[in-house]
Chains A and B, each alone.
Chain A
Amino acid sequence: MTTFTLRVNGTEQKLDVDPDMPLLWALRDVIGLTGTKFGCGQALCGACVVHLNGEPVRACVTPIRRAAGGTVITIEGLSPDGSHPLQKAWVELGVPQCGFCQSGQIMSAAALLAKKPHPTDAEIDESLAGNLCRCGTYTRIRAAVKKASGTP
């Protein structure tokens, strides 16, 4: 066991855990933030995407040691009241069907918009290619990202 200090959604957390514990386990099971989902556990589906020091990472394969001293933002911390443009567009367009993938989709899309505020369709497709939606809502996801970017 090792003690790690990291800042999660603005709150300092001190965790006494195994250095190889996936960040996802620390977030969900130790801290209790269950908005980030476990999908495949192999970085293939994107359900577990969070931001680590501003970069999107797949928390299921990211060891907690990589986050030591860092800043983590999860879907719970993306905005204080669900008012991030992506969250609003998600609601307005009724994007989710089952909703299991949406926190990962939104966190990947948020990272994209932070770097490219007005992405093209192709850029959206490339950046979200690793976020699977078993319900097949991809066209609505892309439309919501476009809407959030203010692009017609």
Chain B
Amino acid sequence: MIPTVRGACCTLGLLLFGCGGSPAPEASTGGKEGPPLPPVAASDLRAPEAFAGISDTAERSRALFAEASRVILHPRCLNCHPAGDAPHQRDEMTMHEPPVVRGPEDKGVVGVECTSCHQDRNPVLARVPGAPKWHLAPKIMAWEGRSAAAICAQVKDPARNGGKSLQDIVEHAGHDALVGWAWSPGADRAPAPGSQAKFGALVAAWVATGAACPPDKSDKSGKEATR
């Protein structure tokens, strides 16, 4: 593969959260005034304790999801949660090369299945990333082009999350090996911010506080995103 530009961020990441090295912006608390959150580097995540100063539980829950969405909207995650039938790659989220398609089971088609190339771990002698059960997220779980608010509603919806309960989501975020690859991507790929343990703790805290979603800014009523 052609070397990627070091330190580059995906378009969404650049727009929403800045690039590696600079401080991350304040996590959204859903639009209401709240105590300032402690600063954190763009490459790190705030721990759930950093949100303890937000007294309103729903408000704290929304802020926790906003912090977790810094991972969800990272190219390491978005590249394989595409809206279309082909994954993206690199920090710039370019089209996957070779030009593969998701196939009937989100694992490619015969000849170019995901595991024709992707191994169970990053290889020693090549750039092709690897982790157990490499595959695309089903189309109902597409995140590409969606806001954190829309993804929040999607993640909670069993019809669009593979029938998972909120506890299943916590387990998936904190322990799934393919999710964990985002923090050990190999080659010169930028890892997702923080660690899987920190991401899992944020998602667990979000669920424990009621799993509230940020308001959908495209919805003037301020209600939670439902689509």
Contact = CB atoms under 8 A, between A and B. Distances in A.
Contact of B99 (A43, A61, A129): A129
Interface in A110-137: 111-112, 114-116, 123, 126-132
Contacts of B157: none
Contacts of B1: 42, 44
Contacts of B179: none
B127 interface: yes
B125 A111 contact: no
Interface string A64-84: 001000000000000000000
Contacts, number: 81
Given A20-B123, A57-B116, A58-B117, A44 B97 contact: yes
A130 B113 CA distance: 10
Contact of B128 (A20, A49, A61, A66): A61
A109 B168 CA distance: 40
A58 B116 contact: yes
B52 interface: no
Contacts of A128: 111
A61 B110 contact: no
A42 B126 contact: yes
Contacts of B128: 42-43, 61
A63 interface: yes
Interface string A37-63: 000011110100100000111101111
Interface residues of B, number: 22
B119 A66 contact: yes
Contact of B123 (A63, A114, A126, A129): A63
Contact of B110 (A58, A115, A131): A115
A108 interface: yes
Nearest to A43: B117
B123 A56 contact: no
Nearest to A129: B99
A43 B97 CA distance: 9
Contacts of A60: 126
A111 B110 contact: yes
A20 B110 contact: no
10 contacts: A43-B126, A44-B1, A44-B98, A55-B116, A62-B119, A66-B119, A66-B120, A127-B109, A128-B111, A129-B112
Interface of A: 20, 22, 41-44, 46, 49, 55-58, 60-63, 66, 108-109, 111-112, 114-116, 123, 126-132
Given A57-B117, A63-B123, A126-B109, 13 more contacts: A20-B123, A43-B126, A61-B117, A61-B126, A66-B119, A66-B120, A126-B112, A127-B109, A127-B110, A127-B112, A128-B111, A129-B99, A130-B116
Interface of B: 1, 97-101, 109-113, 115-117, 119-120, 123-128
